Amino acid sequence: MRLPPLPSALLLGTLLALPAGPLPGAEDPDAGPPFKVTGTYPGDGREGVLTDPVAVRFNRPLDLSSATATSLVLRNGAQKLAGAFSTGAGKGGEPDPRILVWTPAAPLPPGARISLEGTLDLRSDLGRGLDDVLEISFTVDPAKPAFTQTPLPGKVKFARRPKVGPPPVVRWTDPLAGFGSVFSDRIRIRFNRPMNGGTLNPSTVRILTGGADVPGILHYPSSGDPREVEFLPESPLFPGTSYQMLVTREVRTERGANLREEYRAGFSTSPFKEGVRPVRPEDFTPGPDLALGRAFHTASPLSGGDVLVAGGEGVPGAPTAVCEVFRRGSATFERAGDLGDSRRKHAAVTLKSGKVLVCGGFGAAGQTLASAELFDPLSGTWSPASSMASSRAHHTATLLQDGRVLVAGGFTTAGGTFDYEGTAEVYHPTTDAWVPAGPLAWRRGGHTATLLNDGKVLLAGGARSQAAVAELYDPAVNACRRTAGDPAEHRIFHAAALVRLGSVLLAGGGPAQAERYEPETETFYPSGSCPPFGLPVSESPWYPTLTPIPGGRAAFLGGLSLGGGGGGSDLVLAQIQLWDTRGGNGTGAFFPMLFFLPVPRAAHTVTPLGDGRFLVVGGLGTETSFNERRTTLFFPSN
């Protein structure tokens, strides 16, 4: 029997062991003697019932306030019935606190099959929870009057509750409780009795770290032994991390007996386990606010660890010319000169001279721009550069090893309609001139361009007609050609990064599956999965960032989940996932962090500051009609 996957709620937490002591809501085991149901009226399986109220007798006085519409439920089929709770009468007609009577708001329908469910939330007068869940059913007599409330008889004869057998216990676990050098990802929990598989679910059998649920799948092992349940995490467990196994009392045997007591036990994974070292919540700290919030901007590194933030859209859809410079020394922003043209979804690159080239983008009237500008960090001002031959937006600009700049693809409105751009051109900083680079192998926009160690540039994704094709620009011949192998998936508005050993990781932009490009063979390989963590969708986010960080890892941050907000609305994500090539048995895997980014972001930028920190800027607005002003400083744990 295969149970449903665990929900992956995005919870704030730290990657630390749970504190000792009872969890919130756990029952106090010293709250009096065991509390049990001794009988019911009607009895389980009774046919032809003529009365309307239902009575339950306990071995001890009941705390009447614990009897609610959720702790004691009556149903007619799937319909939950309304009613009132009261204390029943014992011998001599005196109130007996051991007897609970439920009186329906309307008479029970003739011929109906009624079920009664009592949960562990029912408590004795001393606070002890019910030992076992109560489940019975009975059938109303078809001849019973339909509109007349029929009371209980003067003397109620309770039927003994069916025997459910002794309560089960957890017999052993793998890993062993308290074990501190675990290499495996599989977790097994074995009981002493056959269990009801329907009660083994993500709310009753949980694996936690730092107070947050680890996402994964529960199922019975291949042996089919009903005494055992197995948990497989969606992503490999982290090395050197504490975890806790939690089994609640709501799990039951096949005969209906609940777990004797809540089970909690911890274990730790080995520091040498295959995986990736996690980042921590304290690695993300607030930075200074921008003067103008923005998305679809550029952030270019300057000398001394400063960063130029240029253009973008402040109000969604409206380009801006406002520019700001982050000063690493003072951790503040200061205004720089404005761009000559307002622009968004443009491209920028820091030249070897230290100046910044900005080109293209969408202008104030929604048209694509061919203009280019140069920022001089010494004067803090912009000057015009030669215009490109083609206007374009959502294109790429890549600094080549010889100092020239490759600009490729994008979208264009030059022909009077919105279309994919199929050209590339190269900017020569020494002459301020653009030189055609020949046609692209495939028209594309919203793609990525990654400089390889051999000086070539990989252009991937964003292909017209959703074609899964990639191409290489070779500066030696100033031309593009298709790669020998094609990607398995088409993606657009995704992220790419040069990762360990010179391969290129492509993630986001639609497909849940990420891919890794190997330059030696010009081949793409599956490399982990990165759908929005915690959301019931099968697609990866749009407009995320993917940033190489120390330890051979890559940080996959934020993004936009189309329809992930519920009701068809889009959702800006606060997810943090780390990728490492050692995961997935060497093919690469994503490791979701079980805490939020301080600010949800999509269409943002992540820029290295040269001192081990990264500046995270902007993104689509989540709190106002303006895009994001708040910034974050990210200092990854080594």
For each of the domains in the chain, give its residue range(s) and CATH number, in order of start.
2-27+167-268 (2.60.40.1220), 37-160 (2.60.40.3710), 347-609 (2.120.10.80)
Question: Between these two residues, 128 and 340, which has the higher pLDDT value?
Answer: 340
Could you report the per-residue pLDDT of 150-171, keeping only the tens digit for each? Answer: 999 888 899 987 778 888 999 9
Q: What is the pLDDT of residue 4?
A: 29
pLDDT surpasses 90 at 638:
no
pLDDT surpasses 90 at 255:
no
- The DSSP string of 478-516 is TEEEE-SS--SS---S-EEEE-GGG-EEEE-SSBSEEEE
Under the banding of pLDDT at 50, 70 and 90, the label for residue 40 is very high
Could you report the per-residue pLDDT of 365-383, keeping only the tens digit for each? Answer: 999 999 999 999 999 999 9
Mean pLDDT of the chain: 90
Name the residue with tokens 């189309």: 562
pLDDT surpasses 50 at 24:
no
| Cβ atoms of residues 161 and 39 within 8 Å | yes
| Cβ atoms of residues 556 and 548 within 8 Å | no
Could you report the per-residue pLDDT of 183-208, keeping only the tens digit for each? Answer: 888 999 999 999 998 899 999 999 99
Q: What is the pLDDT of residue 278?
A: 83
Percent residues over pLDDT 90 in the chain: 71
Q: What is the pLDDT of residue 76?
A: 92
Q: How far apart are CA 349 and CA 482, in angstroms?
A: 25
Q: What is the pLDDT of residue 221?
A: 66
Q: How far apart are CA 32 and CA 21, in angstroms?
A: 19
Quote the pTM value: 0.68
Give mean pLDDT, residues 608-631. Answer: 95
Q: What is the pLDDT of residue 222?
A: 59
Could you report the per-residue pLDDT of 419-433, keeping only the tens digit for each? Answer: 999 999 999 999 999
Q: What is the pLDDT of residue 134?
A: 87
User: Mean pLDDT lowest for which of 178-187, 255-264, 271-280, 598-607?
Assistant: 271-280
Provide CB contacts within 8 A for 42, sequence distance 6+: 49, 51, 54, 136, 138, 159
Amino acid at 184: S
Q: What is the pLDDT of residue 17?
A: 26
CA nearest neighbour of 532 among 567, 574, 582, 580: 574
Q: How far apart are CA 279 and CA 592, in angstroms?
A: 10
Q: What is the pLDDT of residue 595?
A: 84
| Cβ atoms of residues 230 and 184 within 8 Å | no
Burial 33-47 (b: 16+ CB within 10 A, else e): eebbbebbbbbbebe
Q: How far apart are CA 73 and CA 82, in angstroms?
A: 9
Under the banding of pLDDT at 50, 70 and 90, the label for residue 632 is very high
pLDDT surpasses 60 at 1:
no
pLDDT surpasses 90 at 139:
yes
Question: Between these two residues, 405 and 258, which has the higher pLDDT value?
Answer: 405
| Cβ atoms of residues 134 and 116 within 8 Å | yes
Q: What is the pLDDT of residue 183?
A: 80
